């Protein structure tokens, strides 16, 4: 039997119909039971609940009608957030050559926590010492030593009053800098569209990848789980699987990049399979200890205009499949999060994620204006707002918005240029 056919425990496939049926509700119950086994603790603004507290995947509002939704607390995957603002993950290529974070990373991330961001999501962190690295000087969680290097970063964010999630990423065919291995890998031998990004030290078109085999796919799943274990050892409050923006898991989901004829290709049910398997394996590894979620998008670094061909039907399949794993949250990202996801409907991607998963949703994309952020929360589609460009422009965005103060809306021109590395002036208190 194919390895993909026996691995995923939340569904089985009929070879005659090629359709999926849900196996049972045991996965969600399993995760809830394991998470409830942790005792409640208080540290700064972060609280892990005891078994007597309410289920943390229940998106029931925790505020009165008169409260400012941006600044009401929320339990997200077992982590107590003092408000609904998060630093969006942004690649800053500022680790050492061998993927170790340093004091610069600690000072950088802690600055956003001091500025009022309740949650800090790191840039994408590579997960293994094979083909997962995407950029030169990208940080890793592939080894225990890399995990240990993150400990001072985590402690700095905690001391500043924030929670911190590590974003676990495999670049796949979108890699443009990996000193560990020659060549790139992907679902099929199809190169991503567009060209590499110069501010991440890339140039020219993306290389045509080598198609992954079943053994390598299994190794990639294990790499994500091992990286999550290193995140736990470093003290992270959660991990976010990177299933967006054209990286490996999104490549499997993308119809024109995935031309496989096995259980990972063809239908959208098959193409979302690897993302779901990775989330499930990470949950089995660390889901009882920290929050586990996944980031999803339609557009990519290499293809800004991509949309799912099946529209809302594809969204239903994708989000329901991911929810069946027992994930604690979803993170959607669009260029403009408040705009309809598809030309044929009115619902945003965040609304579709909430509708079809029932999970807490982090929304990202053009929400740096407080009115837009509050609209996303007020609609019920989003539970947390992730700010990227606005955070780079104003590290204390949450404090300034809360206090009604003016704030910058555009980052300095040299923030991401000529390289997107962390600048000295960003580290000033």
Asked if pLDDT for residue 46 goes beyond 50, the answer is no
Asked if pLDDT for residue 205 goes beyond 80, the answer is yes
- In three-state form (DSSP H/G/I as H, E/B as E, the rest C), the secondary structure along 292-328 is EEEEEEEEECCCCCCCCCCHHHHHHHHHHHHHHCCCC
Asked if pLDDT for residue 289 goes beyond 80, the answer is yes
For 210, list phi and psi in degrees, rounded to 5. -90, 135
CA distance 269 to 362: 23
* Helices (H), ranges, 37-75: none
- Which pTM value belongs to this model? 0.87
Dmax over CA atoms of the chain, in Å, equals 62
CA distance 256 to 8: 24
Q: What is the pLDDT of residues 375-424, one digit of tens each?
A: 999 999 999 999 999 999 999 999 999 999 999 999 999 999 999 999 99
Q: What is the pLDDT of residues 179-193, one digit of tens each?
A: 999 999 999 999 999
CA distance 85 to 103: 24
CA distance 11 to 221: 17
Asked if pLDDT for residue 240 goes beyond 50, the answer is yes
Question: Is residue 77 a contact partner of residue 328, using CB atoms and an 8 Å limit?
Answer: yes
Q: What is the pLDDT of residues 404-418, one digit of tens each?
A: 999 999 999 999 999
CA distance 118 to 81: 6
Query: Where is pLDDT greater, at 317 or 57?
Result: 317
User: Which residues fall within 8 angstroms of residue 355, CB to CB, at 6 or more apart?
Assistant: 319, 347
Asked if pLDDT for residue 17 goes beyond 90, the answer is no
For residue 256, what pLDDT band results from cuts at 50, 70 and 90?
Answer: very high
Long-range contacts (CB closer than 8 Å, 24 or more residues apart) made by 14-19? 18/266, 18/267, 19/269
Asked if pLDDT for residue 116 goes beyond 50, the answer is yes
CA distance 291 to 286: 8
Which single residue is written with the structure tokens 């002036």? 425
Beta-bridge partners for 41: 48
pLDDT value, residue 67: 77
Quote the mean pLDDT of the chain.
Answer: 88
Question: Is residue 119 a contact partner of residue 85, using CB atoms and an 8 Å limit?
Answer: yes
Query: Where is pLDDT greater, at 54 or 159?
Result: 159
List the one residue out of 304, 323, 325 whose CA is nearest residue 315: 323
What is the average per-residue pLDDT within 9-31?
A: 32
Question: Is residue 49 a contact partner of residue 35, using CB atoms and an 8 Å limit?
Answer: no
pLDDT value, residue 308: 98
Question: Is residue 409 a contact partner of residue 368, using CB atoms and an 8 Å limit?
Answer: yes
Q: Which two tokens stand for residue 183?
A: 């060549």
Active site residues: 247
Q: What's the half-sphere exposure (Cβ side, CA atoms, 13 Å) at 133?
A: 26
For residue 43, what pLDDT band results from cuts at 50, 70 and 90?
Answer: very low
Question: Is residue 290 a contact partner of residue 239, using CB atoms and an 8 Å limit?
Answer: yes
CA distance 297 to 310: 14
Asked if pLDDT for residue 40 goes beyond 60, the answer is no
What is the average per-residue pLDDT within 113-125?
A: 98
Question: Is residue 276 a contact partner of residue 8, using CB atoms and an 8 Å limit?
Answer: yes
pLDDT value, residue 3: 30
Q: What is the DSSP letter of 40?
A: P
Report the 10 Å Cβ neighbour count for 75. Answer: 22
Question: Is residue 345 a contact partner of residue 377, using CB atoms and an 8 Å limit?
Answer: no
Q: Could you give the 3-state DSSP secondary structure of residue 217? A: helix
Using DSSP bridges, classify how beta strands 119-126 and 163-169 pair: parallel, antiparallel or unpaired: parallel
Q: Could you give the 3-state DSSP secondary structure of residue 59? A: coil
Using DSSP bridges, classify how beta strands 119-126 and 85-87 pair: parallel, antiparallel or unpaired: parallel
């Amino acid at each position: 039997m194919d390895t993909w056919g026996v691995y995923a425990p939340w569904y089985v496939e009929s070879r005659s119909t090629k359709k999926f049926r849900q196996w049972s509700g045991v996965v969600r119950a399993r995760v809830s039971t394991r998470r409830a086994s942790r005792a409640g603790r208080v540290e700064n603004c972060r609280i892990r609940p005891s078994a007597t507290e309410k289920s943390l995947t229940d998106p029931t509002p925790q505020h009165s009608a008169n409260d400012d939704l941006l600044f009401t607390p929320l339990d997200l995957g077992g982590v107590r957030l003092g408000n609904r603002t998060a630093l969006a993950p942004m690649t800053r290529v500022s680790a050492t050559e061998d993927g170790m974070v340093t004091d610069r990373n600690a000072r950088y991330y802690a600055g956003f926590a001091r500025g009022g961001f309740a949650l800090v999501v790191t840039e994408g962190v590579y997960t293994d010492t094979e083909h997962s690295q995407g950029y030169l000087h990208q940080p890793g969680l592939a080894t225990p030593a890399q995990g240990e290097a993150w400990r001072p970063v985590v402690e700095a964010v905690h001391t500043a009053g924030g929670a911190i999630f590590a974003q676990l990423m495999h670049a796949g065919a979108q890699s443009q800098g990996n000193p560990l291995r020659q060549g790139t890998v992907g679902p099929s031998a199809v190169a991503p569209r567009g060209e590499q990004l110069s501010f991440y030290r890339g140039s020219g078109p993306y290389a045509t990848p080598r198609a992954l085999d079943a053994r390598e796919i299994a190794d990639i799943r294990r790499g994500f789980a091992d990286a999550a274990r290193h995140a736990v050892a470093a003290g992270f409050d959660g991990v976010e699987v990177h299933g967006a923006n054209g990286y490996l898991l999104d490549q499997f989901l993308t119809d024109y990049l995935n031309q496989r004829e096995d259980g990972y290709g063809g239908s959208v049910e098959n193409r979302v399979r690897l993302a779901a398997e990775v989330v499930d394996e990470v949950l089995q590894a660390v889901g009882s200890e920290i929050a586990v979620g996944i980031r999803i998008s339609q557009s990519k670094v290499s293809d800004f205009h991509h949309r799912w061909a099946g529209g809302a039907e594809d969204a239903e399949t994708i989000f329901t499949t991911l929810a069946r794993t027992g994930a604690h949250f979803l993170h959607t990202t669009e260029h403009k999060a408040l705009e309809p996801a598809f030309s044929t409907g009115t619902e945003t991607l965040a609304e579709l994620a909430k509708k079809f998963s029932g999970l807490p949703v982090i929304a990202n994309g053009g929400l740096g204006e407080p009115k837009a952020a509050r609209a996303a929360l007020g609609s019920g589609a989003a539970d947390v707002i992730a700010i990227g460009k606005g955070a780079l422009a104003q590290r204390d965005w949450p404090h300034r918005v809360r206090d009604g103060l003016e704030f910058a809306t555009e980052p300095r021109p040299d923030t991401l240029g000529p390289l997107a590395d962390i600048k000295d002036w960003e580290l000033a208190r």
